[in-house]
Chain A
Amino acid sequence: MKTSHEPGQMLVVDDNRLNRLLLTRALEQQGHYVSNAENGRIAMEMLRSRRCDVLLLDIDMPAMNGFEVLEALLTDNQLRDIPVIMTSASDELDRVVKCIEMGAEDYLVKPLNPIFLKARVNASLEKKRLRDEQRKLFHTFATPEVAEQLLREGFSLGGKYVTASVMFADIRSFTSISENQEPAATIEMLNDYFALMFDAITENHGTVNQMEGDGFMAIFGAPVQEMNHRVLAVNAALKMIDQLNLFNAERARQKKKAIRIGIGIASGSVIAGYTGTQHRATYTCVGDAVNAAARIEDYTKIVGRPLLIDQNTSEGLSKEVRMEALGPVMFKGKQQPIQVFAVS
Chain B
Amino acid sequence: MPLIDKATFDELKEMSGADFINELIDTFLEDSPKLIEEIRTSLVINNADAFRRAAHSVKSNAATFGAGQLAELAKELERLGKENRLLETGDKLKALEEAFASVRDELRDLKS
Q: Which residues of A contact B (CB under 8 A)?
A: 15-19, 21-22, 25-26, 29, 60, 62, 89, 91, 110-114, 117
CB pair A112 B63 closer than 8 Å: no
Which residues of chain B (27-74) have a CB below 8 Å from chain A? 27-28, 31, 53, 56-57, 59-61, 63-64, 66
**Chain B residues whose CB sits within 8 angstroms of the CB of A21 once the complex forms:** 23-24, 27
- Further contacts, 8 of them, CB under 8 A, given A16-B61, A26-B15: A18-B27, A19-B64, A22-B15, A25-B17, A25-B24, A91-B75, A113-B11, A114-B15
Contact B60 A22 (CB under 8 A): no
A interface, over-half SS? helix
Q: Is the CB of A17 within 8 A of B31?
A: yes
Which residue numbers of B lie inside 8 Å of A, CB to CB?
A: 8, 11-12, 14-17, 20, 23-24, 27-28, 31, 53, 56-57, 59-61, 63-64, 66, 75
User: Is the CB–CB distance between A110 and B63 below 8 Å?
Assistant: yes
Which chain B residues border A62 with CB–CB below 8 Å?
Answer: 53
Complex: how many Å from CA A62 to CA B53?
9
Q: Verify A18–B16 contact, CB threshold 8 A.
A: no
Chain A residue numbers with a CB within 8 Å of B75 are 91
Of the listed residues A19, A22, A112, the one surrounded by the most CB atoms of chain B closer than 10 A to its CB is A22
Which B residue's beta carbon lies closest to that of A58? B60
A selection of 30 A-B contacts at a CB cut-off of 8 Å is A16-B61, A17-B31, A18-B27, A18-B28, A18-B31, A18-B64, A19-B60, A19-B61, A21-B24, A21-B27, A22-B15, A22-B16, A22-B24, A22-B64, A25-B16, A25-B17, A26-B15, A26-B16, A29-B15, A29-B16, A29-B17, A60-B53, A89-B60, A89-B63, A110-B60, A110-B64, A111-B66, A112-B15, A114-B14, A117-B15
